[in-house]
Amino acid sequence: MGCGAHDGGQPVTLDDLGDRLFADVPEVASILGRDERTVRRAAVAGGIPATKVGNKWMVRTSWLREQAGQPSASIAPLPDLAELARHVAPLVVDELFARLARLATSPAAEQPNEAV
C-alpha cells in the first residue's frame, strides 16, 4: 500500500482522526505524505514515537498534531485502551485464524500420531 489514502479512499487528515488518541501506519503515512514502509521503518528505528500492539504500530495523534504545528494540551491524556483494543482486536483474531489454518494444512498435521 502506498502513501496517500487509507483503505483506498481519500487521503486521511488530522481532522479525520477527530478525538482519537492513536493512528495506525496507513493513516500516519497519509497524513505525513510518506510511504507506509517509510513510516514503519521510522517507528521501528524510533524516529517516530510509536507503540507496537500485536503486529501493528500505533502513533499518538498528539505527536502528529505537534508535527503539524497544531497546539496540543499541556498534559497528554491517558491512552484510551478500549479504543486501541477495538482497533487492534480484529487484526489479532485474523492473525490467529491464519496461523491455525497454516497449522491445519501443514504436512505434520496430516500424518497420524503413532503410539509409542
pLDDT along the chain (116 residues), means of 10: 54 83 92 94 94 91 86 60 82 88 78 58
Residues with Cβ within 8 Å of residue 33, at least 6 apart in sequence: 3, 4
Structural domain boundaries in the chain: 14-108
Global pTM exceeds 0.95:
no
Distance (Å, whole) CA 31 – CA 3:
9
Cβ-contact 48, 24 below 8 angstroms: no
CA 24 – CA 55 distance, rounded (Å): 11
Q: Which of 32, 26, 83, 25 is nearest to 50 (CA)?
A: 25
